[in-house]
Amino acid sequence: MAKREVKRVPPKWSLWFKGLDEWLLIFQKVSGAILILYLIGHTLVISTALNLGHPIPLTWNTIIGMAEGPAVYGHAHVGTIIEYLIALLAAVHGANGIRLILTQYFGITLPRPERHTFPRAVPSVKKTGQSWLKYIAVIVILIFLILATLVAFVW
Amino acid sequence: MNSWSLSNVSSQQVSTNAPTAAATVGNVTITKPPLSAPIRRTYTFKVKRYDPERGSYYWKEYSVELTNHETVLDGLLKIKWGVDATLSFRYSCRMGICGSCGMIINGTPRLACETKPYDLGTDVITIEPLSNFEPIKDVAVDFSGFFGKHRSIKPWLIRKDEKEQFEKLESYYPQTENQLNEYLEFAYCIKCGLCYSACPMVFLNKDYLGPQALAQAYRWSADNRDEGAILRLKVVDSENGVWSCHYSGTCSKVCPKDVDPALAINLLKHWLLYGKRKR
Amino acid sequence: MGMVSASTLRKIQYLLGIVLVVVLGIHLAFRWPSYEESITYTAAISHIQAWDFLYAAVLYILLYAALTHGLIGFRTLLLELWHWRYARVTVDVVLIMIGVVVAIVGTIALTGTILALIH
């Protein structure tokens, strides 16, 4: 073994850029980190706005006013846009998460191991069952996107 | 319908430009190019070589003439024999069964003996050492960590009665066809390290066991002749074991033997969460 | 963690994930039809004043489920990246402390609001 610390060969990013599953992996982790930080902030802000148990309109309006920021688009504030993006992040994280839970916990769409087909077998990640779950997740996210845009910006 | 035309398959086998002829064997139709005169081309091999004395990489270009039947390994050997004898790389069987010649060719981890430059379609072939491993020299990398992780999941048959295997030799361990098919797919692993190189979680988590070790943990635990699954599940049920896999599936896409480690790992997770073995 | 196996933690996280999709869906559904209206003071406390205990229960479940699910996930991410000798102990202790503090603050605010409004 070499005495000095030899660093690992760096990865080939091009291999991972062309795969949807690789993007979803990174997205799940990054969105999860952002969401937990948002959750901590959101809980503390709302708790402060409720005056820690003694709700009065003055405290609520002051704190929520500060968190929302100025109005930038019609009646939508800066805070509205941020919360809209966070809600979208949660929707994608949730839809992909349900897909992962169905596959890994309940084993839905996991094929049974079987003899190889000739000449090359199809890896399980490319079989139709897994694709169906991804399409359903995309449709759910699109529905959420439409509803959230209506609620936040139009109505 | 099991009609397989080779153009559906990865570039490791298909010849994209030659006209094809069809033959039917049983209910499988195989189309393959006719045996004609070999098509010669000159390729530029750009090799990323590691210099252990300086601890850094450098690129070297070589020009080599290959036919449409010759592989990247043939090209590297021609370079080593005729142009630059200092070029170091691993190879052995030259037929895709030993797992020695893994390297990154045109951005994807492949076996050099199973990749034909003609099928890759480019005139410049980029060759780099396998990622996620420590390099030794040029394109050869250090597999000792990889093998250590493989050993840690006890890749052998474990029976409750140890003496049985050596003293009570009159009995054998029966296995039906269905029991064989439960794990056969994962027994094709040749330990080439391509999956380990392709896995993004191996890159992020230095202590992750890796798709190869985990697939082999499933292979031995799913074998009906084995009684030691509980020992392996203890090793595998940790933050650096099965739970560091997040199902990106890159390992299964690059495996030259279609072992499908992604499926093995997810079946392992299913076992661990459901608490019982799927029969 | 010496007491809980990794697969038990994951089981909790996955089950809470399913619970969260439902509960968070309800929480977001209460923004209908207009987000701006739903964050005014009157709208925010109207459900509690109307003795809507179901919604209050949803909020409690949301708080604890989201914190647990999120912190287990965050722990997984941090332990994959950091491997120095005391990484596991440090990450566990810090995240548990943060979780307990935020849970207590949220519980005090929520319970206090409910008690104050239903009098």
**CATH number of the domain encompassing residue B100:** 3.10.20.30
Average pLDDT, chain B: 87
Average pLDDT value for residue range B89-110: 95
User: What is the pTM (predicted TM-score) of this model?
Assistant: 0.85
Provide the residue range defining the domain that includes B247: 144-274
Q: What is the predicted pLDDT for the residue at B10?
A: 43
Tokens of A21: 């599953």
Q: Do B157 and B268 share a domain, yes or no?
A: yes
C32 chain-A contacts, CB cut-off 8 A: 151
* Digit-coded pLDDT (tens) for A57-74: 888 888 888 888 777 777
**Cross-chain residue pair C6–B244, CB shorter than 8 Å:** no
Q: Which domains does chain A have, with CATH numbers?
A: 23-109+125-154 (1.20.1300)
Q: Which CATH number do you get for residue B260?
A: 1.10.1060.10
The interface residues of chain B toward chain A in range 6-45, judged by CB-CB distance below 8 A, are: 6, 9-10, 13, 28, 30
pLDDT in tens, chain C (119 residues): 467 888 899 999 999 999 999 999 988 888 877 777 777 888 877 777 776 788 888 999 999 999 999 999 999 999 999 999 999 999 999 999 999 999 999 999 988 888 887 76
pLDDT band at residue B1, thresholds of 50, 70 and 90?
Answer: very low
- The last residue of one of the domains, among B88, B123, B141, is B141
* Digit-coded pLDDT (tens) for B185-217: 999 999 999 999 999 999 999 999 999 999 999
Q: Do B269 and B182 share a domain, yes or no?
A: yes
Q: What is the predicted pLDDT for the residue at A74?
A: 72
**Of the listed ranges A150-154, B29-33, B86-90, B195-199, the one predicted with least confidence:** B29-33
User: Residue B279 falls within a domain, yes or no?
Assistant: no
* Digit-coded pLDDT (tens) for A2-23: 456 788 999 999 999 988 888 8
A90 chain-C contacts, CB cut-off 8 A: 24
Is residue B95 scored above 90 in pLDDT?
yes
* Nearest CB to B237; choose among C6, C79, C80: C6
Q: Do B133 and B158 share a domain, yes or no?
A: no
* Nearest CB to B262; choose among A26, A114, A124: A124
Per the structure, how many domains does chain B have?
Answer: 3
Q: Do B208 and B264 share a domain, yes or no?
A: yes
ipTM, two decimals, is 0.90
Cα–Cα distances in angstroms (integers) from residue C110 to residues C31, C97, C106, C117, in the given order:
19, 20, 6, 11
Name residues whose C-beta falls within 8 Å of residue B211's C-beta, 6 or more positions apart in sequence: B195, B196, B199, B202, B245, B251, B261, B262, B265
Q: Which domains does chain C have, with CATH numbers?
A: 6-117 (1.20.1300)
- The last residue of one of the domains, among B93, B111, B141, is B141
Q: Do B159 and B251 share a domain, yes or no?
A: yes
Q: What is the predicted pLDDT for the residue at B261?
A: 94
Of B227, B68, B70, B93, nearest to B158 by C-alpha is: B227
What's the CA gap between B61 and B44, in Å, rounded? 7
* Digit-coded pLDDT (tens) for B101-114: 999 999 999 999 99
Amino acid at B175: Q
Percent of chain A with pLDDT over 90: 27
**Cross-chain residue pair C7–B244, CB shorter than 8 Å:** no
DSSP string, B124-178: EEEEEPPTTSEEEETTEEE-HHHHHHHHHT--S---SSGGGGTT-TT------HH
Q: Do B269 and B187 share a domain, yes or no?
A: yes
**Cross-chain residue pair B134–A10, CB shorter than 8 Å:** no
Q: Do B51 and B167 share a domain, yes or no?
A: no
Q: Do B123 and B49 share a domain, yes or no?
A: yes
User: Residue B122 falls within a domain, yes or no?
Assistant: yes
Q: Does C96 touch chain A (CB under 8 A)?
A: no
Is residue B12 scored above 80 in pLDDT?
no
Average pLDDT value for residue range B114-130: 94
Contacts A–B by Cβ distance under 8 A: 144
Is residue B167 scored above 80 in pLDDT?
no
Other beta carbons less than 10 A from residue A127's beta carbon: 14
Shortest alpha-carbon distance between residue B93 and chain A (Å) = 20
User: Residue B264 falls within a domain, yes or no?
Assistant: yes
Q: Do B76 and B135 share a domain, yes or no?
A: yes
- The last residue of one of the domains, among B141, B169, B199, is B141
Q: Do B185 and B213 share a domain, yes or no?
A: yes
**Cross-chain residue pair C79–B208, CB shorter than 8 Å:** no
Q: What is the predicted pLDDT for the residue at B5?
A: 41
Q: Do B118 and B175 share a domain, yes or no?
A: no
B258 chain-A contacts, CB cut-off 8 A: 116, 120-121, 123
* Nearest CB to B135; choose among A9, A21, A114: A9
Amino acid at A13: W
pLDDT band at residue B20, thresholds of 50, 70 and 90?
Answer: low
Name residues whose C-beta falls within 8 Å of residue C96's C-beta, 6 or more positions apart in sequence: C71
Q: Give the residue on A whose Cα is nearest the Cα of B271.
A: A105
Tell me the backbone φ, ψ of residue B33, rounded to 5 degrees. Answer: -70, 150
Chains that touch B (3 or more CB pairs under 8 A): A, C
User: Residue B191 falls within a domain, yes or no?
Assistant: yes
Q: Do B153 and B200 share a domain, yes or no?
A: yes
Amino acid at A154: V
**Of the listed ranges A81-85, B29-33, B257-261, C23-27, the one predicted with least confidence:** B29-33
In terms of DSSP H, where are the helices of B189-228? 194-198, 200-204, 211-221
Amino acid at A54: H
